[in-house]
């Protein structure tokens, strides 16, 4: 409404200027007083036009502070919540591996198995390519968690954990997990010379679940966090 009133005001001023010009030249007013009035009104109209339409060097005046963009996930809260449950169970599992107790490992693996079973990928069907690509690592991870539970020896369980971790990393990369930054760790001699073992962690420094203290290098970082200038990661 204010913009319309401003425009009407400028239009009215223009009509006044035109009227004065017509009057001056029609009556052949050549005295100094007539020209002073003419140029005064003209300058006033120009200044008012600049004030309303070109404030601050030609930029329109903006009121109110600009708000920073919100951090928005590409997935629903339900999907993210279930994926967080899977990750929590996974990190608990890797922690039990460092203790070497097979009974504790089996309990943690069964908890992770429940988390995987509850993770529904149907939401991803809005993008058929991502959905189809995510199915394979998801199903492979479900098969591998069974192996962790049923493997008789700690050595075999560690081998299954290594495969499971790789499938989980592929799944998270495919769905573009965007709730936190994750680190892909590696111990280059976890299973012997030049036979690496890998795992995911939430921090740059983490305990090696394969049993070699201090053997942990960051091979890559999983980071699909939404742009948010209000936070520092």
22 pLDDT band (50/70/90 cuts)? low
**Per-residue pLDDT, 69:** 42
| pLDDT band for position 218 (cuts 50, 70, 90) | very high
Using a pLDDT cut of 70, give the percent of the chain over it: 67
Residue-level pLDDT at 74: 83
Is the pLDDT at 81 greater than 70, yes or no? yes
The whole-angstrom distance between residue 165's C-alpha and the CA centroid of its chain comes to 24
Q: Which residue has the higher pLDDT, 1 or 156?
A: 156
Cβ-proximal residues to 115 (8 Å cutoff; 6+ apart), any chain: 82, 85, 86, 88, 89
For helices 102-118 and 154-175, the axis angle rounded to 10 degrees is 30
Q: Is the pLDDT at 43 greater than 50, yes or no?
A: no
Reduce the secondary structure of 11-64 to three states and give it as a string: HHHHHHHHHHHHHHHHCCCCCHHHHHHHHHHHHHHHHHHHHHHCHHHHCCCCCC
Q: Comparing C-alpha atoms, which of 69, 68, 89, 77 is closest to residue 179?
A: 77
With cut-offs at 50, 70 and 90, classify the pLDDT of residue 98: confident
Residue 70 has pLDDT above 60, yes or no: no
Cβ 89 vs Cβ 108: under 8 Å = yes
- Tell me if 164 sits within 8 A of 146, measured CB to CB: no
Range 58-76 average pLDDT: 52
How much is the pLDDT for 226?
84
Q: For residue range 143-188, what is the model confidence (pLDDT) as tens digits?
A: 999 999 999 999 999 999 999 999 999 999 999 999 999 999 999 9
pTM exceeding 0.75: no
- Residue boundaries of the structural domains of the chain: 2-58, 77-222
Q: How far is 114 from 177, CA to CA, in rounded Å?
A: 20
Among the residue ranges 62-66, 73-77, 199-203, the one predicted with the least confidence is: 62-66
């Amino acid at each position: 409404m204010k913009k319309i009133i401003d425009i009407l005001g400028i239009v009215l001023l223009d009509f006044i200027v035109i009227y004065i010009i017509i009057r001056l030249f029609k009556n052949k007013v050549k005295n100094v007083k007539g020209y002073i009035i003419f140029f005064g009104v003209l300058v006033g109209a120009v200044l008012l036009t600049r004030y309303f339409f070109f404030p601050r060097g030609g930029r329109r005046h903006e009121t109110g502070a600009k708000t920073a963009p919100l951090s928005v996930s590409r997935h629903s809260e339900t999907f993210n919540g279930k994926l967080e449950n899977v990750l929590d169970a996974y990190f608990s599992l890797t922690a039990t591996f460092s203790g070497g107790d097979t009974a504790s490992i089996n309990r943690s693996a069964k908890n992770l198995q429940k988390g995987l079973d509850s993770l529904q990928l149907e939401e991803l069907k809005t993008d058929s390519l991502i959905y189809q690509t995510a199915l394979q690592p998801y199903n492979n991870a479900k098969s591998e968690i069974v192996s962790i539970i049923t493997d008789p020896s700690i050595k075999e369980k560690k081998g299954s954990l290594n495969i499971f971790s790789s499938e989980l990393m592929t799944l998270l990369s495919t769905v573009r997990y965007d709730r936190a930054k994750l680190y892909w760790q590696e111990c280059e001699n976890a299973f012997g010379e030049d036979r690496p073992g890998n795992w995911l962690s939430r921090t740059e420094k983490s305990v090696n679940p394969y049993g070699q203290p201090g053997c942990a290098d960051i091979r890559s970082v999983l980071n699909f966090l939404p742009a948010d200038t209000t936070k520092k990661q």
